[in-house]
Amino acid sequence: MTRSDAIADSQRQFDSGAFRDMLARRIAVPTESQNPERAGALASYLQQEIQPAFDAMGFTCSTLTHPKARAPFLFAERIENPALPTVFGYGHGDVIRGLEPEWREGLSPWTLTERDGRWYGRGIADNKGQHTVNMQSLANVFKARGKLGFNAKYLIEMGEETGSPGLRELCEEHKALFDADLLIASDGPRLRAERPTIFLGSRGALNFDLTIESRKGAHHSGNWGGLISNPGIQLAHAIASITSPTGQIRIPEWVPTELPAAVRRALADCEVDGGEDGPEIEPWWGEPGLSPAERVFGWCSFEVLSYKTGNPQTPVNAIPATAWARCQLRFVVGPDPAQFMPALRRHLDRHGFPMVKISATRDEMFAATRIDPDDPWVQWAAASIQKTTNKKPAVLPNLGGSLPNDIFTDVLGLKTVWVPHSYPGCSQHAPNEHLPPELLREALAVMTGLYWDLGEGGTPGRS
């Protein structure tokens, strides 16, 4: 059987409804990792859905645990010949909370439903649909060849939506077991729904709180207005000092010294478009002189996620005693994360805001990662995808969002090539999560071609 035959079989399988039925079964398992009552569903997903699929391909499966993790991990491997390249796969079977009451009438997070040319269901984009595409593509190549033609290792976790507790420690403990040449995995969105995409890492994310506690208790604004400070006003000014009125970051330690030439080249033909459901890009916001793609994939951004002072639900005529804001810095490779908070402290003190308290949140900081867009593995993957789709894939130096990719690059020492099977307007983490089925159909073809090419020989560093 040829490469074209294997891809055609994948698409026939999709058209028959078999792929949809499998995905519907997986979406029906309510794997909300933030909900302690779903512990049984997390384990069931691995035991009843994932392990049997790997068993059928001749993988050896084992359940791994770590004290930090509230759910087990499933590790599967198939070693055909130690001389062959080894690819490491990753996915997560847990999902964000279903938010059932907020879905449109007639839709449920736990039922795969087709409406207006879209498939709806919690996890279809993040991440059940994506790892189901990859696993089925592996199965299709195995069926066509009778073997893969390469070695494969795969790790499925059930805690990514709660910060992947225990994943780093698990990879440190099992570094030899997870040894591989390359990570190929899928998460996050394509640049646009119709354009195949590769990204090579992710932006880092640091969440922190800014707080002013002026005094105990609020005081009447008529009796005390103009006599005592208002922490809501002070904190607003403190936050405003961090960026320009158009969002340009004013703390030098928070941004790169320059945009690398390889990053500029990779992003030169990348147009950011969230589709009809996405917001309209505002070209005047953010770092001036950069394209939209360079601003989100090559630069850093500061956001205020939440702000509170006084009683927002029932305002009263009183000067509040406190003000609080949850803030976030998304950052790329280049700036030193160890300097982020000290630089912020110096900046606020210099601008007259020593009263602002900075505190870390319980959220784990994701590190920024990026492999070289000119790396031979990247060029190999891009050529494979273009051969399958007759489309030039977008090559993004990193995802705009954050993933635990630094665990794979820094702990396991892997090159990382992510091939996303979602799109920016998918309502990931929100009610009405969905994907266009034609995107999933193309993704099956892309991954079948990619895994086929891995087994053909001639990959980077191999004869």
Boundary residue ending a domain (338, 360, 382)? 360
User: Residue 258 burial by CB count (10 A; 0-12/13-18/19+): exposed, middle or buried?
Assistant: exposed
Tell whether 350 and 379 lie within a shared domain. Answer: no
- pLDDT reported for residue 383: 97
pTM metric for this prediction: 0.90
Question: Per-residue confidence at 1, pLDDT binned at 50, 70, 90?
Answer: confident
pLDDT, tens digit, for every residue of 49-105? 999 999 999 999 999 999 999 999 999 999 999 999 999 999 999 999 999 999 999
In a domain, 105, yes or no: yes
3-state class (DSSP) for residue 174: coil
Tell whether 212 and 336 lie within a shared domain. Answer: yes
The total of structural domains in the chain comes to 2
Contact 78, 62 (CB under 8 A): no
Helix locations, 306-375, DSSP H? 340-350
Tell whether 375 and 356 lie within a shared domain. Answer: no
Cα-flanking dihedrals φ and ψ of residue 130, to 5°? -75, -45
pLDDT, tens digit, for every residue of 211-269? 999 999 999 999 999 999 999 999 999 999 999 999 999 999 999 999 999 999 999 99
Average of per-residue pLDDT across 113-121: 97
Tell whether 100 and 155 lie within a shared domain. Answer: yes
In a domain, 275, yes or no: no
pLDDT, tens digit, for every residue of 166-220? 999 999 999 999 999 999 999 999 999 999 999 999 999 999 999 999 999 999 9
CA 122 to chain centre: 16
In a domain, 73, yes or no: yes
Average of per-residue pLDDT across 300-324: 97
Residue 317: is the preceding peptide bond cis (ω within 30°)? no
Residue 365 has pLDDT above 90, yes or no: no
Tell whether 447 and 314 lie within a shared domain. Answer: no
What CATH number has the domain bearing residue 66? Answer: 3.40.630.10
Which has more confidence, 28 or 463? 28
Average of per-residue pLDDT across 373-385: 96
In a domain, 416, yes or no: yes
Helix locations, 98-251, DSSP H? 128-145, 167-173, 221-224, 231-240
Tell whether 150 and 248 lie within a shared domain. Answer: no
- Separation between Cα atoms, residue 147 and residue 242, nearest integer Å: 56
- pLDDT reported for residue 364: 76
Residue 408 has pLDDT above 50, yes or no: yes
- pLDDT reported for residue 462: 53
β partners of residue 198: 395
DSSP category for residue 410: I
Tell whether 129 and 184 lie within a shared domain. Answer: yes
Boundary residue ending a domain (360, 383, 404)? 360
In a domain, 336, yes or no: yes
Question: Per-residue confidence at 368, pLDDT binned at 50, 70, 90?
Answer: very high
Residue 278 has pLDDT above 80, yes or no: no
Tell whether 56 and 198 lie within a shared domain. Answer: yes
Q: Domain range for residue 131?
A: 3-202+368-454
- Separation between Cα atoms, residue 393 and residue 194, nearest integer Å: 10
What CATH number has the domain bearing residue 214? Answer: 3.30.70.360
Tell whether 128 and 247 lie within a shared domain. Answer: no
- pLDDT reported for residue 463: 42
Sign of CA dihedral 426, 432, 437, 441: positive
Residue 417 has pLDDT above 60, yes or no: yes
In a domain, 146, yes or no: yes
Question: Per-residue confidence at 361, pLDDT binned at 50, 70, 90?
Answer: very high
Amino acid at 455: G
- Separation between Cα atoms, residue 426 and residue 453, nearest integer Å: 29
Tell whether 45 and 155 lie within a shared domain. Answer: yes
Average of per-residue pLDDT across 15-36: 98
- Separation between Cα atoms, residue 328 and residue 344, nearest integer Å: 12
Q: Residues of the chain with pLDDT > 90: what percent?
A: 94
pLDDT, tens digit, for every residue of 135-176? 999 999 999 999 999 999 999 999 999 989 999 999 999 999
Tell whether 347 and 381 lie within a shared domain. Answer: no
In a domain, 280, yes or no: no
Boundary residue ending a domain (342, 360, 378)? 360
CA 243 to chain centre: 26
In a domain, 243, yes or no: yes
Tell whether 75 and 43 lie within a shared domain. Answer: yes
Residue 458 has pLDDT above 90, yes or no: no
